[in-house]
A and B are shown apart, each in its own frame.
Chain A
Amino acid sequence: MDFNATLIGQTIAMIVFVWFTMKYIWPLLDAAITERQEKIAEGLAAADRSQHDLELAQKKAAETMREAKEKAAELLEQAKKRHAEIVDSAKDDARAEAEKIIAGANAEIEQEVHRAREELRKQVSVLAVAGAEKILQRNIDASAQADILDSLVAEL
């Protein structure tokens, strides 16, 4: 337990060491650690934020998808409706056309019948006249009995 100048020497050495640490070591390392801690905190916050953003985006995407599906279904419905309408109107048109054609054909037939009847009437009247002529050739003047013949023709 001898005390000598070593005590003073060590005190000086200690002061120098502490001063050096305080000036050139501690602040640098402390700053580096603090800054890294801040960086890590920021990084974690950013990760949280992007997680949140991702959730929002996913929600939005799901929403958009749902809307698109709804729209598609709506369009399909409309198309079906339109299709039915077109088919219906085509049917109506066709029916009308067919009726028109049938009506035309009927009118033509009527006309034809009419004409044939007319023809027939003429021929019958001619035939009747011819027959009557032959009958009356012997004594009766055809022209004197023309009014009777005409009334006969009209009765046919």
Chain B
Amino acid sequence: MSAENSTGYIKHHLQNLQACSTEDGWAFNSVENPTLCSGSRLDAINVDTMGFSIVLGAIFLWIFRRAAKKATTGVPGKFQCFIELVIDFVDTNVKDTFHGKNKLIAPLGLTIFAWVYLMNLMDLIPVDWIPGLAHLMGVPYLKIVPSTDVNITFAMSISVFILILFYSIKVKGITGFTKELTLNPFNHWAAIPLNLVLEGAALLAKPISLSLRLFGNMYAGELIFILIALMGYMQLPLHFGWALLHLLVIFLQAFIFMMLTVVYLSLAHEDH
């Protein structure tokens, strides 16, 4: 494959299927005009990210709802055992970290863990299968791994950030939260501006690191899959090795996102 072709191939794989409003009404980007909807704007939407993430989220809810409806307190079946294993895994991690009483945190952790895991799992589907199929059906672009889209990782981390702010204010009160931001780490009135900068940066770093970590890992992983796919027959062993390694990354990133969410919310509940 020539360098130009390779570049085109990679670019094609990293392009979202987007819809946006144009002068002639709503339109999709196309091979002729791939950047039709690009740029940060509110009247554009990544159709593939939305579609895949919602379908995967629905699959998660459907599986777990089915287990929840049939849950027996007697001897559980294998399916229920598996679901309970996941629930117990999340519950143990939440209970180890968060010691208060909060009905939201455990389900939030479970949703984040399972959803991110399923979205990351899409990375293991060979990069050309679904986009190739879509191409035959006339869809120009399709990015099937939703977690390689900054929109979704930021959507999750911003939701978590709002919860952090909400619980900080709820538990510590506005004055308590303000004190925490202004009188830490140097407890002196003259250091208030410096404290504000330091604590503000630390606070803002939470959602940004949360989302960029997931996005960066998944984007890089996807990119390496695409690069491997360019290598002809050599791709077979390489793809296998990278997929094996990625299996770990997929789980780890989902777990880290969940754990950090729980840790941040637990910090928000702690009164100094």
Contact = CB atoms under 8 A, between A and B. Distances in A.
> Real complex partners, A and B?
yes
A156 B18 CA distance: 173
Contact of B38 (A2, A18, A35): A2
A13 B64 contact: no
A14 B88 contact: no
A21 B110 contact: yes
A24 B155 contact: no
B45 A10 contact: no
Contacts of B106: 26, 30
Interface in B1-34: 18, 20
Contacts of A10: 49-50, 53, 151-152, 155-156
Interface residues of B, number: 51
Interface of A: 1-11, 13-15, 17-18, 20-22, 24-26, 28-33, 35-36, 39
29 contacts: A1-B150, A2-B38, A2-B39, A3-B151, A4-B43, A5-B43, A5-B45, A6-B155, A7-B154, A7-B158, A8-B155, A10-B50, A10-B155, A13-B50, A13-B54, A13-B57, A14-B115, A17-B111, A17-B115, A18-B104, A20-B65, A21-B111, A24-B68, A25-B61, A25-B64, A26-B106, A28-B69, A30-B87, A32-B68
The 6 A-B residue pairs with the shortest CB-CB distance in the complex, in nearest-first order: A10-B155, A6-B151, A32-B71, A28-B68, A22-B107, A26-B107
